Amino acid sequence: MPSLKDLRVRIDSVKSTQKITSAMKMVAAAKLRRAQETAEAARPYAARMERMLGSLASSLGGGKGAPKLLAGTGEDQTHLLVAFTANRGLCGGFNGSIVRRVREMAHQLKDDGKTVKILCVGRKGHDVLKREFPGEIVGSIEDIGKRHVEYSEAIGVSIRITELFDAKEFDVCTVVFNRFKSAMTQIVTPQQLIPFV
């Protein structure tokens, strides 16, 4: 049986752990609030950009004057899936839902006789997908957005996709990401970028 002194030490240890946990909760709440505000502030910009690109793509109609990235190659054989996941875990189903959707899409495309290539943005998606699709992974971009996603980091992803397109590595590019709805709910969204529809 533990002595009275041992019990006091144990109680003090538990109280100390409670204080640390409480402080961690406050820090996490502040980070979540900041991330939520950032996501909601970007929403109107993203919606307007999507409408503008859609309008541009429909007005050009894939004709001769259309930029290659909007019109595509005219073929539908090789598909690039770009999986946007986090660099770390402990975020519930955030990474798992994206990986699951990429897996489903890759298997469906293969069943349809298409060639699949995967570009991973974020370490967690790469760690999981490289085991199931080792030959289809064409690259991994990690450690972006540690604090905030900077333009220079986003343009790096864009340049990598454009380089693959210019090298005729794929015909169709689809990005798979979580669309923010609330702190507890994100909607897995596949969106075709090349050709833009």
Q: Which domain holds residue 36?
A: 1-60
Structure tokens at 153: 């980091």
If phi > 0 it is left, if psi is from -120 to 50 it is alpha, else beta; for residue 172 that is beta
Q: Name the band, by pLDDT with cuts 50, 70 and 90, for residue 49.
A: confident
Q: What is the CATH number of the domain that holds 162?
A: 3.40.1380.10
Catalytically annotated residue among 29, 91, 149, 187: 91
Mean pLDDT, the chain, integer: 83
Query: In whole angstroms, what is the distance from residue 140 CA to residue 123 CA?
Result: 8
Decide which of 14, 40, 60 is a domain's last residue. Answer: 60
Decide which of 41, 60, 79 is a domain's last residue. Answer: 60
Indicate if 85 and 49 belong to the same structural domain: no
Query: In whole angstroms, what is the distance from residue 40 CA to residue 33 CA?
Result: 11
Structure tokens at 61: 């109609």
Mean pLDDT of 165-188: 85
Which pLDDT does position 105 carry in this prediction?
94
Asked if residue 64 has pLDDT above 70, the reply is no
Told to judge if 120 belongs to the known catalytic residues of this protein, a careful annotator would answer no
Predicted confidence (pLDDT) per residue in 76-123, tens digit: 889 999 998 887 776 767 788 899 999 999 999 999 999 999 999 888
Higher pLDDT, 52 or 26: 26
Indicate if 107 and 52 belong to the same structural domain: no
Indicate if 155 and 76 belong to the same structural domain: yes
Indicate if 109 and 151 belong to the same structural domain: yes
Indicate if 101 and 181 belong to the same structural domain: yes
Indicate if 182 and 99 belong to the same structural domain: yes
Query: In whole angstroms, what is the distance from residue 109 CA to residue 191 CA?
Result: 15
Give the residue among 180, 137, 173 at the shortest CA–CA distance from 158: 173
Indicate if 107 and 86 belong to the same structural domain: yes
- Helix (H, G, I), strand (E, B), or coil: what is residue 60? helix
Decide which of 40, 60, 80 is a domain's last residue. Answer: 60
DSSP state of 37: H
- Helix (H, G, I), strand (E, B), or coil: what is residue 28? helix
Mean pLDDT of 164-169: 90
Q: What is the 3-state secondary structure (H, E, C) of 91-117?
A: CCCHHHHHHHHHHHHHHHHHHCCCEEE
Indicate if 131 and 173 belong to the same structural domain: yes
Indicate if 115 and 158 belong to the same structural domain: yes
Indicate if 113 and 40 belong to the same structural domain: no
Mean pLDDT of 129-143: 86
Indicate if 95 and 178 belong to the same structural domain: yes
Mean pLDDT of 160-167: 90
Q: Is 69:78 a contact under the CB 8 Å cutoff? A: no
Asked if residue 71 has pLDDT above 70, the reply is yes
Number of domains in the chain: 2
Q: What sign does the CA torsion over 50, 94, 142, 164 have?
A: negative
pTM comes to 0.75
Indicate if 54 and 113 belong to the same structural domain: no
Asked if residue 12 has pLDDT above 90, the reply is no
Which pLDDT does position 145 carry in this prediction?
63
